[in-house]
Structure 1
Amino acid sequence: MKLTANLMILIVTLFGAAIDGYHCKVVQFIFGDSLSDAGNNKYLSRSLANANLPWYGIDFGNGLPNGRFTNGRTVADIIGDNTGLPRPPAFLDPSLTEDIILENGVNYASGGGGILNETGGYFIQRLSLYRQIELFQGTQELIKSKIGNQEAEKFFQEARYVVALGSNDFINNYLTGVYSDSWNYNDKSFLDYLMETLEAQLKILHKLGARQLMVFGLGPMGCIPLQRVLSTDGSCQQRTNKLAISFNQAGSKLLDNLSTQLAKASFKFGDAYEVVNDVITNPQKYGFNNSDSPCCSFGRIRPALTCLPASSLCKDRSKYVFWDEYHPSDSANELIANELIKKFGFLRVDAPSPAPAFGPSSETDE
C-alpha cells in the first residue's frame, strides 16, 4: 500500500512537471549599434568599427577590451542591472549556447550598424538592424528545438527588448555626403524613410513575440567631439542636433501608435535628449568638468576617430562626459540610464508587482 502511494506521488509529480513545462527566466534581447555593442564587432574580422583595443573596457571587469565602445558599461548594461535582468552576451560569441540564451538572452548590437542596410558601409563589416533581426529569427529556431514551440513562445513574449539605433544613419550615412541617401533625400524625407523602415522592423519583432520593447532616442549627436571638430570654434553642429530632436519626436509618435495598433504591445520610446543636453551644457552641475573633448585622445591630433593603444587618457575618467570621439563614458552612461529608469518607472523583474519592467511611469512631462 505504501509502495502504491509513493508511486502515485511520483506520477503526480512527473505529470505536474509536464504540465508546468519549462520555467523560463525573463531575459533581454538587445538590438543596436556601438552604444550597445557588447562584443559582436570583435568577431567581425574585417570590420573597421572595432573596440577590441586598449583602453576600451579599462573600467569594466578585468580592465581588458571586451568589445564595448566605452571605458565601462553601456546604458543597456546599467538599465538591465538595475531592473534585475542578466547581461546578454554577444550573439557572435563562439561560446553562446541554447542554455546561455535561456539564462541570459542575447545582444545583437553592432558598432557602425544602422536602421538602414546601407548605413556604415565604409566600416566594411557591421550588422544592420534587419540583419540583427534575421539573427534573432535564427535564435528562435534554436530555442524552439530546445524547449518546444509553446514554451519558446512564452519565453520570447515574456522577454524584454531594446532597440537602440539611429545616430549612424545620420552621422555615418546621410550627413557624410558619401552615400546616395545624402542627395536622394532632404532632412524631412530622410526622416520619413527612417521611420517607415523602423516601423516595419518593429512590426517584425512584434510578430516574433516582442511585447515589452523600448526604443532608445538620440542624444544631442551634434555635440559629440567628432562633430565639434567640424566647426571652426568647437561648437555643436545645430543642424545635427535638430535632426536628433526630429527623430525623437517622430519615434515617440511611432511607438505610441504601435502600442495601440499591435496586440498586447507595450512599446516605449526612451528620450533622454534634454538631460544629456543639459549635462553637455552644464557639466559641473552633474559632477563633470569636461563635456566637449574625449578622455581618450591622441594629443592634438583630432579627430583620432578611435581610442588607440598609443592614446593618452584623461586624469579622471569619471569627470569626462565623452570617452572617445563618438561615445559617452561609463559615468555619462550611468547618468543617462538612471534618467530613463526614473522617467519610465522601470521596476525590477523580481519585484512583488504585476507591472512589467518596462511599465509606464506616473510622470507625464518630458
Structure 2
Amino acid sequence: MKPALTFLVILVSILGTTVNGCDCKMVQFIFGDSLSDVGNNQHLSSSLAKANLPWYGIDFGNGFPNGRFTNGRTVSDIIGDATGLPRPPAFLDPSLTEDVILKNGANYASGGGGILNETGVYFIQRLCFYKQIELFQGTQEVIRRKIGKQEADKFFQNAQYVVGLGSNDFINNYEVPVYSDSWNYNDQSFLNYLMETLRAQLQLLHSLGARKLKLLGLGPMGCIPLQRVLSLSGGCQEKTNQLAIRFNQAADKLINELSRSLPDASFRFADAYDVVRHIIRNPGKYGFSNIDSPCCSFGQIRPALTCIPSSTLCKDRSKYLFWDEYHPSDSANQIIASELMKKFRQPPRGNHTEAPSPSPATAPSPW
C-alpha cells in the first residue's frame, strides 16, 4: 500500500467521536510541484525527486534538509508569512494529525508532479495533481469525522487554496522525446490538453469546497540553468519560454472563466514571468551577480541535476538567481513572491519569519 493511503487508513481508524463545533482558523491547502514541495517526496520511498541531501535547506531553520528544493523558503512560504497564514506541513509527514490540519492546513505538493498523470514518470514516485486532489478528499473525510460535516464544510470553504503546476508537464514530459506526448501533440494541441485537464481539476476542487483559489503561472522556464546548459549557446531556450507565455495566457483566461461561472468562486491567476525576465536582463538592479548558473553545482560537471553533499556552493547565495539546475534561490523566491502578491492585490502584512541569515563566505559542514 502506498504511504499516503496507509496514512489515511490509519488516521481514519484511530479517530473517535465527532466533535460538534469548531473554532477553526483560516488555513491554506497547497497543491503543486517541487517549487512548493515542503517534504512530501521525502516520504515517497522510491522517488528519485528528493531534496533530502545537504545543501538543501541550508538557510532555513536549523539548516538541515527539510524537503524544500531550495536553500531557504518557497514562494508559498513567503506569501503565507506575509498574509499572516500558517505554513501548511507536508501531508505525508508522519506527525500530521487532524488537529494540525485544522490549525495549519496541509501541503500536497510533490517534486516532479504535473497537471497530467503521466508527467514525471521517470521519477518513479511523485504525486500528480489528480493524486493530490485525491489525498485532499481523504483529508476532508478525516476532518468531517473530527468536527462534523457542517463545520467541516465551513472550514474548507473558508480556506485558501494555492495551485502551482505546469512546468514539469513541459520540461519533464512534452519536451522529452521518450514521452508519447512529445510526438502525439504539437504545441497548441498539448496546451489544449493541459487546459482541458486543468479545467476539470479546478472544477473538482471547487466541488470539494475550494472557493478562494490562487493559480500560480509559469516563469521563463527556458532560462533555468538546466535549459541553458543544454542549449548550444548557453542562452535561454526561447521556444520553451514561449510555451510558458502561452500557458500563462491560457491559464489566465481559464481562471477568469471559472471565477465567473462557478458559484461563489473567487479564483485568481498571477505569474512572475515578467519580473524574472527583467531580473535576467537587469540582474544588478535586483542585487544579483549570477543569473545563469546554479549556486550549488558540481564544478564544471554539468548538469549535475541535483545538489549533493560534495557539491560546491557559491560564496554568497543571495547573489544567485538559481539555487540548483531547476529551482530559484531564496532571494529569487522573495522577489517572485512580492510580484505575485502585487498581482493578487494582497500587500504584505507583518514581518516575514525564518528569513535566511546572511550567507557565510564558506559553507558549513553538511551535518
TM over 0.5, yes or no? yes
Q: Distance in 1 between matches of 2:203 and 2:348?
A: 26
Which residue is 2:303 aligned to? 303
Partner of 1:267: 267
Q: Which residue of 2 aligns with 1:111?
A: 111
Output the amino acid matched with 2:257: N
CA distances 1:38-67 after superposition (whole Å, capped 9, x unpaired) = 000010111000000000000000000000
Structure 2 equivalent of residue 171 of structure 1: 171
Q: Report the alpha carbon displacement of residue 343 of structure 1 after superposing the two structures with TM.
A: 2.2
The Cα of 1:342 is off from its aligned counterpart by 1.9
Larger radius of gyration: 1
* Residue 286 (str. 1) matches residue 286 (str. 2): yes
Q: What residue is the counterpart of 2:91 in the other structure?
A: 91
Code of the aligned partner of 2:328: P
Check whether the contact 1:161–1:212 (CA below 8 A) recurs between aligned residues. Answer: yes
Distance 1:282 1:113 in 2: 31
Cα offset, 1:272, TM superposition: 1.1
Q: Provide the rounded CA distance (Å) in 1 between the counterparts of 2:347 and 2:310.
A: 42
Q: Does the CA-based 8 Å contact 2:75-2:336 persist in structure 1?
A: yes
What is the match of residue 361 of structure 2? none
CA change 1:275–1:41 in 2 (3 A) is same
Tell me: CA distance 1:88–1:184, structure 2 relative to 1, closer, same or farther (3 Å): same
**Deviations, residues 296-336 of structure 1 (Å, cap 9, x unaligned):** 00000000000011000000000000000000000000000
Write the mapping of 1:248-259 to structure 2, written as runs, cut at 5 A: 248-259=248-259
Residues 1:257 and 1:349: Cα distance change in structure 2 (over 3 Å)? farther
Partner SS, residue 229 of structure 1: helix
User: RMSD value over aligned CA atoms?
Assistant: 1.2
Structure 2 match to 1:361: none
Equivalence for 2:363: none
- Greater mean deviation of Cα atoms: 224-233 or 84-93: 224-233
Q: Secondary structure at the match of 2:230?
A: coil
Q: Deviation per CA, 1:103-138, whole angstroms, max 9, x where unpaired? A: 000000000000000000000000000000000000
Please state whether the residue corresponding to 1:150 is helix, strand or coil. helix
Deviation track 1:20-46 (CA, whole Å, cap 9, x = no partner) reads 931210000000000000000010111
Alignment of 1:76-87 (within 5 A): 76-87=76-87
Identity over aligned pairs, percent? 76
Name the counterpart of 1:196: 196
Q: Does 2:327 align with 1:341?
A: no
Q: For 2:184 and 2:134, how far apart are their aligned partners in 1?
A: 27
Taking the TM superposition and a 5 Å limit, the aligned residue runs for 1:1-366 are 21-346=21-346
Work out the CA distance in 1 between the residues paired with 2:256 and 2:314.
Answer: 42
In 1, Cα distance between equivalents of 2:237 and 2:163: 25
Superposition deviation, residue 98 in structure 1: 0.3
What's the TM-score once normalised by structure 2's chain length?
Answer: 0.89
* Cα deviation code 1:225-246 (max 9, x no counterpart): 0000111220000100000000
- Kindly provide the amino acid, as one letter, of the partner of residue 97 in structure 2: T
Contiguous gaps of at least 5 residues in structure 1: 1-19, 351-366
Distance in 1 between the 2:165 and 2:344 partners?
Answer: 19
| Equivalent-residue separation in structure 2 for 1:183 and 1:324 (angstroms) | 29
Distance 1:203 1:96 in 2: 27
List structure 1 runs of 4+ shifted beyond 3 angstroms. 347-350
What is the TM-score when the length of structure 1 is the normalising length?
0.89
- Asked whether the equivalents of residues 24 and 102 of structure 1 are also in contact (C-alpha less than 8 Å), the reply is yes
CA contact under 8 A between 1:85 and 1:349: conserved in structure 2? Answer: no
Residue 96 to residue 349, structure 1, CA distance change in 2 (3 Å): farther
How far off its partner does 1:349 sit?
9.1
The separation in 2 between residues aligned to 1:308 and 1:38, in whole angstroms, is 18
- Give unmatched runs, 5+ long, in structure 2: 1-19, 351-367
The answer to which structure, 1 or 2, has the higher relative contact order (CA under 8 A, 6+ apart) is 2
Structure 2 counterpart of 1:253, one-letter code = K
Alpha-carbon distance in 2 for matches of 1:77, 1:290: 24
Aligned counterpart, 1:360: none
Q: CA deviation at 1:178?
A: 1.1
Paired letter, 2:76: A
- Quote the Cα distance in structure 1 between the aligned partners of 2:103 and 2:290: 39
Q: 1:46, 1:125 within 8 Å by CA — same for their partners in 2?
A: yes
Provide the secondary structure at the position in 2 that maps to 1:31. Answer: strand
Does the aligned pair in 2 maintain the 1:304–1:325 contact within 8 Å?
yes
Rounded to whole Å, the distance in 1 between the matches of 2:236 and 2:31 is: 28
